[in-house]
């Protein structure tokens, strides 16, 4: 950040009084521009035995498969964000959302959350950010072509939990991934 979004003056980096971290501070209008983690919300859309995945049309990870998810907008709930992203990326409508996985990704300042959900019907198609959208059975999941670790972890939990038919909320931190490791 170089310029103050309030008054346009040059920003300095300093520790404000009573704080213990370096912040972006405007010396002209005294505004402190806090930087905080961003929340990504998405769905695990279920249709019978299958899961709906989207192949990304945008970077990062263009061409890789993901669950529909994206950054929350101001003024909406996490469930609304998850529903909206599913509609935008997969043109799919979902119902019965239940919080399922919540991942902390402190190395990229994000919190990632997925809701289990049922597709309302079997009508879906690729939205602007998707190359294609498709239902996958457990045996068909393209594990080596998943876009993000959060997607792989959520699918792993789901297929394990489905055997027991109990789906506790999962919360874990995900560490940065060595480049060589398989992307799941």
Which member of 1, 3, 7, 19 binds Zn ion (CB under 5 A)? 7
Nearer to Zn ion by C-beta: 4 or 133?
4
Q: Does 11 bind Zn ion (CB under 5 A)?
A: no
Rounded-to-10 torsion of CA 42, 46, 47, 53: 50
The distance of closest approach from Cβ of residue 20 to Zn ion in the complex, given in angstroms and rounded to an integer, is: 22
Q: Does 26 bind Zn ion (CB under 5 A)?
A: yes
Q: Does 27 bind Zn ion (CB under 5 A)?
A: no
Burial class (CB in 10 A: 0-12, 13-18, 19+), 2: exposed
User: 22 CB contacts (<8 Å, ≥6 apart)?
Assistant: 13, 14, 15
Q: Does 29 bind Zn ion (CB under 5 A)?
A: yes
- Integer Cα distance of 157 and 94 in angstroms: 20
Q: How many residues interact with Zn ion (rule CB under 5 A)?
A: 8
Which residues lie near Zn ion (CB under 5 A)? 4, 6-7, 9, 26, 28-29, 31
């Amino acid at each position: 950040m170089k310029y103050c979004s309030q008054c346009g003056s040059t920003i300095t980096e300093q520790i404000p009084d009573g704080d213990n971290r370096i912040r972006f501070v405007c010396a002209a209008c005294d505004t402190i521009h806090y930087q905080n983690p961003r929340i990504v919300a998405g769905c695990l859309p279920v249709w019978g035995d299958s899961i709906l995945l989207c192949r990304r049309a945008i970077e990062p990870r263009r061409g890789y498969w993901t669950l529909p998810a994206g950054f929350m907008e101001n003024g909406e709930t996490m469930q609304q964000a998850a529903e909206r992203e599913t509609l935008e990326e997969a043109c799919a409508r979902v119902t019965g959302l239940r919080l399922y996985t919540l991942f902390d990704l402190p190395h990229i300042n994000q919190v990632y959350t997925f809701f289990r959900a049922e597709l309302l019907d079997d009508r879906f198609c690729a939205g602007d950010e998707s190359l294609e959208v498709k239902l996958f059975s457990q045996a068909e999941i393209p594990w080596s072509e998943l876009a993000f670790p959060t997607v792989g972890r959520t699918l792993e939990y789901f297929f394990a939990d489905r055997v027991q038919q109990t789906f506790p909320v999962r919360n874990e931190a995900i560490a940065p991934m060595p480049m060589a490791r398989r992307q799941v």
